[in-house]
Structure 1
Amino acid sequence: MTTSHTARGLQHATPERRKTSFFKTSLFKAEWLQFRRNKTLLFMATVFPVGIPLLLFLIGNGGAAESANSFDYFVMYTLLFVQFYTVLSMATTRRDERVLKRLRTGEARDIDIIGAICFPGALLTLIFTVVIIPLLMVLGAPAPINLVPIVFAVLIGLLLCSALALMTSGFTRNAEAAQMTSMPVFMLAMGGLGSIRFVFGDSIVADILAYTPFAAISDLVQIGWAGATFADSVGGVEAANFAGIFQDMLIPLGILAAWTAAAVWAANRYMRWDSYR
């Protein structure tokens, strides 16, 4: 069936489109309710991402570099615990319960099924981000110099972590095994933090870590808040102004985009829709 058009454009949605919209809304609501009922996921998605960065900020001196570092930890913990681990856990559980297989035989499209799984963590991540920035400022942090790289870091980071979670679920036999299969991503993410890379100095390890996706996220966050990466801030490099940040963000943004494209391909290639059993 096709839709009718006039000179003013599309007039009425087709029954198929209305049905797709209904199933998409129902799936998103169902996944959100399931997420809320999982107390373990809720605990991991709130206490670690919000509590640890706030604690780091409160024990520091509240300068631009310290504020950017605290927010860097917030973004990393949020992407890992709120998005990556919850999507991995939910995708693996739904697969083992053969929910994904049943949904694929119905009216829902693959993109709707995956989107519903990714929705709860993404929503919480965006809410936390909107709340934590003014909260840090109320506590004494200087305002971010430019929010654009921060927005890119969070939004592309959500897509990256969702794709990594779906890919990892293909190698995860059950929900319990997710604690082990998630470790490589957690280690890669922690190694990408600006304050961790700084420990390695000018070594080849630091150079390798600088080209990982989570290092790119960290650099975008640090540049957006403090006008310089963590290493540059510690080294006394002058912070970029609002306009200068757009140039400084190009390299980490390109690295992040390339890794995200590769992760999306890998998720499409390795994600399993049926149980191992």
Structure 2
Amino acid sequence: MSTLPVVPRISVPRTLRLARWNAVLLTRNRLALTYAAALPLLPLALLLGGDRGDEALGAATIATTLTMALVFPVFYNVLSQFVTRRDELVLKRLRTGEARDAELLTALVLPGAVIAVVVALAAIPVAAAFGQDLPRNPLLYVVGVLACIALYAAFAFWTAAWTRNAEAAQLTSLPVILLAVGGQLSLALPEAAQRWAELTPGAALTGLVRVTWFGLDDGRTTSSLDLAATWGAAAPHLAVLVAWTVAAFALAARSLHWEPRV
């Protein structure tokens, strides 16, 4: 068992070469590529059946799109690839060479992260074509997406620490998927339960979309925030994501296995 480096030093060219290799392996798996690149955009079709400009529907749909872009190409893809290559001793062999641990982990995340960013950016013109407004605060929207990518990558490494094999990943991934999906339902819960649900990553992502894209706050269905107000309104949601990310990386650092579990 090994831990993540405290102060990782990364060779960018070497990391990009490793990431390119990981991307090639992903493209060779047609099913995984479909789940990663095409499936996240499907929820946007729901905007066709709704009222043009319906901000509440737009926020829910885009939050679902981003959730799928984070769960499939980032979280589950990194989890399954890490566990598979750990069991095949690929990671162990790579660690005996020049590649550092941080480079191996970053290279695993990069292909899925690029897909997630592309989906997040592609959602803007697609949603606009369906009658939705452009993001109220595009910079903060992108920051939120990047924060979520870091979080779900951390979740993947944490989950891999207690996943025995690739088949078991289908079960061990469920708690994270529930945190991602269940949090989106926080607005429909009773007030007492809603306070706890808002502390989940899914609720934080939904809140960020509502604030940064539509200027929605406090469960409202019509825009109430201007550009300046979105910064303060988004701060609690970003704080939730940062807290989860720090906790997930800390737990992964304590328990990450680079060799098959016995």
Q: Would you call these one fold, judging by a TM-score over 0.5?
A: yes
Structure 2 gaps, min length 5: 1-8
Runs (4+) of structure 1 exceeding 4 A deviation are 19-22
* 1:11 alignment counterpart: none
Residues of 1 paired with 2:117 and 2:19: CA distance?
16
* 2:260 alignment counterpart: 275
Aligned pairs, how many? 253
Residues of 1 paired with 2:11 and 2:180: CA distance?
36
The Cα of 1:21 is off from its aligned counterpart by: 4.7
1:160-215 residue CA offsets vs partner (Å, 9 max, x unmatched): 0001001101111111111100000111111111xx1122131x321111112221
Structure 1 gaps, min length 5: 1-16
Residues of 1 paired with 2:11 and 2:188: CA distance?
51
1:71 maps to a residue whose letter is: I
Query: After superposition, where does 1:155-194 map in structure 2 within 5 Å?
Result: 155-193=146-184
Residues of 2 paired with 1:71 and 1:22: CA distance?
34
1:198 maps to a residue whose letter is: L
1:100-142 residue CA offsets vs partner (Å, 9 max, x unmatched): 1111111001111001110110011111112121121022211
SS at 1:94 equivalent = helix
Residues of 1 paired with 2:255 and 2:149: CA distance?
19
The Cα of 1:233 is off from its aligned counterpart by: 2.2
2:195 maps to a residue whose letter is: D
* 1:4 alignment counterpart: none
Residues of 2 paired with 1:228 and 1:65: CA distance?
8
* 1:90 alignment counterpart: 81
Residues of 2 paired with 1:165 and 1:76: CA distance?
14
Query: After superposition, where does 1:194-273 map in structure 2 within 5 Å?
Result: 196-202=185-191, 204-229=192-217, 232-234=219-221, 239-273=224-258
RMSD: 1.8
Q: 1:253 to 1:183 in 2, by over 3 A?
A: same
Instruction: Tell me the TM-score normalised to structure 2 length.
Output: 0.91
Residues of 2 paired with 1:27 and 1:88: CA distance?
17
1:232 maps to a residue whose letter is: G
Q: Relative contact order (alpha carbons < 8 A, sep ≥ 6): 1 or 2 greater?
A: 2
The Cα of 1:228 is off from its aligned counterpart by: 1.4
Residues of 2 paired with 1:54 and 1:213: CA distance?
21
Structure 1 vs Structure 2: percent identity of aligned residues?
A: 35
The Cα of 1:150 is off from its aligned counterpart by: 1.5
* 1:107 alignment counterpart: 98
SS at 1:135 equivalent = helix
Contact 2:207 2:237 in 1 (8 A): yes
Residues of 1 paired with 2:15 and 2:202: CA distance?
31
Residues of 1 paired with 2:15 and 2:188: CA distance?
46
Contact 2:66 2:119 in 1 (8 A): no
